[in-house]
Copies of this chain bind each other. A is one copy, B any other.
Amino acid sequence: MTKARGIPVVVSGPSGVGKGTVIALMRQRCPDLVLSVSMTTRPPRPGESHGKDYFFVSTQRFEEAIQKDELVEWARVYAHYYGTPKSFLETICSQGQDVILDIDVQGAAAIRSLYPEGILIYVLPPSLEELRRRLFSRAKGEGDDLELRLAQARREFRFLGIYDYLVINDDAETASEQLCHIIMAARLRRERAEPLLIAHGILGPA
């Protein structure tokens, strides 16, 4: 059967919520999902490769991409740029594959504008105390900017109104299963399924 176009699936969430683990488990459950590859000016870490983990570029090239409107969304995090190349996203979607984007609230808003059919999911901690615990254990006891990250999370929660779905990451297996439910359901939406049904003669003139 001809495939419908794929859609972008944004997964956002505060620092420390465990989004990386949830996304990794989700990809085991739904192996046909593609993870978006970002463009970045951060140097590659050992084992990372160009085009698989990131598109590693110079600051000059990144700023050119911004100016030429080649990025769906981008952000500067500390010293480095990160962004999603339009061409990459468009290629994957046109191949009928859904793309997971691990980006922030502003990136989510940009995706909504360009891809109204995309899905925006926000991953929440079971409580702010639990988020504090997770950030603390991740910071290996240093906890220097812990309060800053918590304040940032609370600030971000005020923009949840743009998201379609909220998933609580209490247990990462359950949360990843819930993300799969959301994506599987999205594939059954009428707007997405109808053109295929017409193309294949299941639906047609009465």
Q: Across the interface, name the chain B residue whose C-beta is closest to A200.
A: B127
Number of interface residues of A (CB under 8 A): 35
A48 at the interface (CB under 8 A from B): no
| Alpha-carbon distance A154/B80, docked complex (angstroms) | 57
What is the distance, in angstroms, from A13's C-beta to the closest C-beta of chain B?
12
Interface-centre pick from A167, A185, A190 (highest chain B CB count, 10 A): A185
The reply on A189 being an interface residue by CB < 8 A is yes
Q: Looking at the complex, which of A19-27, A106-114, A156-164 is the stretch in contact with chain B?
A: A156-164
Binary B-proximity of A125-137 (CB < 8 A = 1, otherwise 0): 1111000000000
Q: Are A166 and B194 in contact (CB under 8 A)?
A: yes
Q: Give the contacting residue for A157; candidates B154, B186, B206; CB below 8 A.
A: B206
Please give the residue numbers on chain A whose beta carbons come within 8 Å of chain B beta carbons, in ascending order.
Answer: 122, 124-128, 154-155, 157-158, 160-161, 163-168, 178, 180-182, 184-186, 188-190, 193-194, 197, 201-203, 206
